[in-house]
Structure formats: C-alpha cells, structure tokens
Chains A and B, each alone.
Chain A
Amino acid sequence: MTVAAYAVAALLAAAGAMTLIRIVRGPTTLDRIVATDVLLAITASAIAAVAAFTRDPTSLPVLVVLAILGFTGSVAVSRFITREKP
C-alpha cells in the first residue's frame, strides 16, 4: 500500500507541475482557466488520496465545498473575457 501511495503522489505531482507550466505559459486567459480547472481537479484527487491512504475521512467536507464552488471562478472569468489576441 505504501508503494501505491508513492506512485499516486508521484503521478499527481507530475500532473500538477505540467498544469502549472501551462498556467504560466498559456497564450490566452482561456487556456489558463482550463489549466486552473485541471489543477483544482488534481488537488481534489490528492486530498481524496490522502484521505484514502490514511483512512481518515476528516478532509472529505473540503472536497464537497470544492466540488460545489470550484466552477464559479472559471464561469465568472470566462463571462467577462473580451476579445484578445493569443
């Protein structure tokens, strides 16, 4: 189980690093919004993985709040996107 925990941690860390590179580079704001959504999903996955490997359900309400409210940021920003050159 420890091997699985290290494997999941390595995979999620690599995924988060690549998503951060896209957030920094991303030519337009919409690319950054998509990458931020992915980073939020990876963070939620990491919190759930910690809860699973320690068998400690304390942090699960955080995931409920993230799942309900996580989309409001990207909706709000993409609502007010104006025309921009990539």
Chain B
Amino acid sequence: MTIAGVLDALAAACMIAGAALGLSAGVALLRFPDLLSRMHAATKPQVLGLVLILTGCAIRIGTLVDITTMLLIALFQLATAPVAAHMVGRAGYLDGHASADVLLADELAPDIHKFTDNSEEKTD
C-alpha cells in the first residue's frame, strides 16, 4: 500500500468519524428530553465533528495556504461556539428551563436577582 493510499484511508476515517458525530447529534436532538441535554449533544458536531472533517480535508488537500485557512476555521469555531452556548444557556436559565429537579447544584440561584432587570425586583 502506497503512502498516498494510507493518507487517503486516514482522511476517510477522520471524515467518517466527524460525520458520525454529526449523526449522533441529530439523534440526540430528537431523543433527549430537555434543553440542557440537547445543548450538551449539540456541541459535538460544532467542535469535534468539524475539526475531524477539517483534519481529513487538510490531509486530502495538503497545501500550506489551505491548511492555514482550515486552522483559522477551527480557531474561529472554537472561539465563537462557547459564546453562543453561553447566551443560550443564560436565556434558558432565565426562562425556567433549568429547574431545580434537573440540576444537581444551582450556584446561580442566590444571585440571580442581580442579573434580571425586572423593575419590580430592583425595588425590594
């Protein structure tokens, strides 16, 4: 087996693994019961799935400029996905999706009145 064949097999394995992570997130979005567990499943294709497919892409293409572009893609994705997850989780907590019966520890509950800007909570 030649070097190119080995590299192609490696790239195909990486990309099938990344696509399988995407499929697992799709199944989990359908099957999981509430918002927080769906958010847990949603991070898999956003981070590891995309990075695995970009790894396969880098092995297949293999020029330095394109590998630098793929590094930028992975870097931006790693930097921006937690921002969106933080905002969605914060809105979900304020919206009552993280109720006490699904949480083991709730360290935000004593201080939550500092972050809600309802006028009736500021007066007391």
A residues at B contact (CB < 8 Å): 1, 4, 7-8, 11-12, 14-19, 21-22, 28, 30-31, 33-35, 37-38, 41-42, 44-45, 48-49, 51-53, 55, 57, 60-61, 63-64, 67-68, 70-71, 74-75, 78-79, 81, 83-84, 86
- State the majority secondary structure of interface residues on A: helix
CB closest residue in chain A, given B82 = A71
Give the Cβ gap from A50 to chain B, nearest Cβ, in Å: 9
Query: Once A and B bind, how many residue pairs between them come within 8 Å at the CB atom?
Result: 171
Residues of A within 8 A of B60 (CB): 52-53, 55
Given A38-B25, A48-B73, 9 more A-B residue pairs with CB atoms under 8 Å apart are A4-B12, A8-B53, A18-B29, A37-B42, A45-B22, A52-B57, A52-B60, A64-B72, A84-B95
